[in-house]
Amino acid sequence: MDKTSIHGMWSSRLMFILAATGSAVGLGNIWRFPYMTSDNGGGAFVLVYLGCILLVGLPILMAEILIGRHGRVSPINTLRGLARDSGVSRHWVAIGWIGIVAGILILSFYSVVAGWTLHYTFLYLKQLAGGAAITDPGATFAALLGDPLELTFWHALFMLLTVAVVALGVEKGLERAVRFLMPALFVLLLMLVVYGMTTGFMGQAAAFLFKPDWSVISGGTFLSAMGQAFFTLSLGMCTMMTYGAYLPREGVSIGRVGIAVALTDTSVALLAGLAIFPVVLSFGIDPAGGGPGLIFTSLPLAFESMPFGIVYGLAFFGLLAVAAWTSSISLLEPATAFLVEKYGVASRKRAALGIAGLSWLLGLLSVLSLNLWSEARILDRDIMTFIEFIANDLMLPLGGLLIALFAGWALNRTILREQLSDMPEALFTAWRWLMRVVAPALVLIVLARAVL
Ligand code: PHE
């Protein structure tokens, strides 16, 4: 008999796909992917990123879902149980701890940036009600970043929204958000791509995104691409492992759902690129080196000049906030589930609130690094970029590397085969070698190249 999770179960395969896609698709695709591409010189970065998704991301995504579905509890307890059953070292539990720490760090700045999207949603609402237009997006954005109180307010509001859903548990709350609003975001992005075509700059934008210029590539580029691949698929911090623990066994193929999630996530990122760069180019902005403000300083230019632009602007930032919301929930869930298992189910609200509170406090460092402490540098980075670097570029790949090794070497074949029962033998063998050798080697090479 298959075990079920005490945290609840997804009501169907579709619900899992929606929730996992909701986790994957977020600021990583629409805010971070375009500016990382812009900062790393375009096409070559995109190509390395796609390679990382295919050879490292997708196979590890399957491994995380598989480990979670087999264990049925929060990552730390799942790893503890699996290590015991397989007769391997209990130190594998470290993967779970890396995940919890990375999750708290990521949520801290994620919520700050999601706060920007709430602020912009509000700005467009005000405009719709007759408020002032955003005529100089650069100045509007700078004014927001320069105001620690304003940033803290939206950061707090977003964190509360996240806690509210996690406190309710996995089945309630999440379903509506992902079922209707994510497809709406997809359609809106498509409409922006069509608008991009009317600017006459689509060709140039596509060339920037897809024509690799290898001369701008360095060890750092590989690390950023790898980090982005992990971040965008919500990998390396046991999020997908946690969601996998709530996934029913019957009739659900891990290979198929993994492919569905990875494909959707990648398409949204590429669509976001195709939506944003024509606007950037048509307004004469240099596509290279856009930085974290890229979408906030470029897209409003388009919204102010297109018919019904204000409505688009409102819908775009509103839906982006929702996409961020369905991701932030999944950043909070692993640690919350762990505390619930430790202290009893009644404490879910308190567990979520405690972790989110800690993350919110840490987020204040990011808030301040945008204004009062903007001069502070750690390893050449401002504080927010430093936290992002440690969590996204180092901890996630490291977590992913260990997950791959755990699935490849520690878990016995019978468990793997049972979870991937519908996978043809040849594919299964290929997947296993990706886990054992290829993915760990690629992550190690990239990590080593960047530090050495
Ligand atoms: N994948 C999310 C995004 O792209 C971020 C995330 C990372 C969520 C890690 C959960 C875990 O926005």
pLDDT by 10s per residue, the chain, length 452: 467 888 888 888 888 898 899 999 999 999 999 999 999 989 999 999 999 999 999 999 999 999 999 999 999 999 999 999 999 999 999 999 999 999 999 999 999 999 999 999 999 999 999 998 999 999 999 999 999 999 999 999 999 999 998 888 766 666 666 777 788 888 999 999 999 999 999 999 999 999 999 998 888 899 999 999 999 999 999 999 999 999 988 888 999 999 999 999 999 999 999 999 999 999 998 888 889 999 999 999 999 988 899 999 999 999 999 999 999 999 999 999 999 998 876 688 999 999 999 999 999 999 999 999 999 999 999 999 999 999 999 999 999 999 999 999 999 999 999 999 999 999 999 999 999 999 999 999 999 887 77
Give the residue, out of 64, 65, 231, 331, with the most ligand 1 atoms within 8 A of its beta carbon, to mutate for a pocket test. 231
Query: d(Cα 118, Cα 243) in Å, to the nearest integer?
Result: 26
Write out the two tokens for 357: 């509170």
Give the residue, out of 112, 113, 230, 234, with the most ligand 1 atoms within 8 A of its beta carbon, to mutate for a pocket test. 234
Q: How far is the CA of 177 from the centre of ligand 1 (A)?
A: 16
Q: What is the 3-state secondary structure (H, E, C) of the chain?
A: CCCCCCCCCCCCHHHHHHHHHHHHCCHHHHHHHHHHHHHCCCHHHHHHHHHHHHHHHHHHHHHHHHHHHHHCCCHHHHHHHHHHHHCCCHHHHHHHHHHHHHHHHHHHHHHHHHHHHHHHHHHHHHHHCCCCCCCCHHHHHHHHHCCHHHHHHHHHHHHHHHHHHHHHCCCCCHHHHHHHHHHHHHHHHHHHHHHHHHCCCHHHHHHHHHCCCHHHCCHHHHHHHHHHHHHHCCCCCCHHHHHHCCCCCCCCCHHHHHHHHHHHHHHHHHHHHHHHHHHHHHCCCCCCCCCCCHHHHHHHHHHHHCCCHHHHHHHHHHHHHHHHHHHHHHHHHHHHHHHHHHHCHHHHHHHHHHHHHHHHHHHHHHHHHCCCCCCCCECCECHHHHHHHHHHHHHHHHHHHHHHHHHHHHCCHHHHHHHCCCCCHHHHHHHHHHHHHHHHHHHHHHHHHHHC
Q: How far is the CA of 339 from the centre of ligand 1 (A)?
A: 21
Integer angstrom CA distances of residue 96 from 108, 211, 234, 386: 19, 39, 14, 22
Q: How far is the CA of 28 from the centre of ligand 1 (A)?
A: 6
Q: How far is the CA of 235 from the centre of ligand 1 (A)?
A: 8
**At 289, which amino acid appears?**
G
Q: Name, in order, each residue with C-beta under 8 angstroms of 148's C-beta and a sequence gap of 6 or more.
A: 367, 368, 370, 371, 372
Look at ligand 1, atom 11, and give the residue with the nearest C-alpha: 234
Q: Pseudo-torsion of CA 54, 56, 58, 63, nearest 10°?
A: 160
Indicate which atom in ligand 1 lies nearest the CA of residue 396.
9
Query: d(Cα 103, Cα 76) in Å, to the nearest integer?
Result: 13
Look at ligand 1, atom 10, and give the residue with the nearest C-alpha: 234
Q: CB count, 10 Å around CB of 193?
A: 19
Of 366, 270, 226, nearest to 30 by C-alpha is 270
Query: d(Cα 234, Cα 136) in Å, to the nearest integer?
Result: 34
Contacts 24+ apart (CB under 8 A), 411-416: 411/67, 411/82, 411/86, 412/86, 415/70, 415/82, 415/86, 416/66
| Residues at CB less than 6 angstroms from ligand 1 | 23-24, 26-29, 106, 231-232, 234, 237, 239, 327, 330-331
Residue with tokens 């579709």: 14
Give the residue, out of 112, 166, 232, 388, with the most ligand 1 atoms within 8 A of its beta carbon, to mutate for a pocket test. 232
Look at ligand 1, atom 7, and give the residue with the nearest C-alpha: 234
Look at ligand 1, atom 9, and give the residue with the nearest C-alpha: 234
The angle formed by the CA atoms of residues 47, 389 and 452, to the nearest 5 degrees, is: 75
Residue 78 CB burial class (10 angstroms; 0-12, 13-18, ≥19): buried
Q: What's the pLDDT score for residue 1? A: 47
Residue pair 391/102 in contact by the 8 Å Cβ criterion: yes
Q: Name, in order, each residue with C-beta under 8 angstroms of 376's C-beta and a sequence gap of 6 or more.
A: 369, 382, 383
Look at ligand 1, atom 6, and give the residue with the nearest C-alpha: 234
Residue pair 261/62 in contact by the 8 Å Cβ criterion: no
Q: How far is the CA of 122 from the centre of ligand 1 (A)?
A: 24
Query: d(Cα 178, Cα 161) in Å, to the nearest integer?
Result: 15
Q: How far is the CA of 218 from the centre of ligand 1 (A)?
A: 25
Look at ligand 1, atom 4, and give the residue with the nearest C-alpha: 28
Tell me phi and psi for residue 378, to 5 degrees.
Answer: -125, 125
Indicate which atom in ligand 1 lies nearest the CA of residue 28.
4
Q: Name, in order, each residue with C-beta under 8 angstroms of 400's C-beta and a sequence gap of 6 or more.
A: 56, 60, 230, 235, 236, 439, 443
Q: What's the pLDDT score for residue 172? A: 67
Give the residue, out of 239, 322, 393, with the most ligand 1 atoms within 8 A of its beta carbon, to mutate for a pocket test. 239
Strand pairing partners for 381?
378
Q: How far is the CA of 135 from the centre of ligand 1 (A)?
A: 32
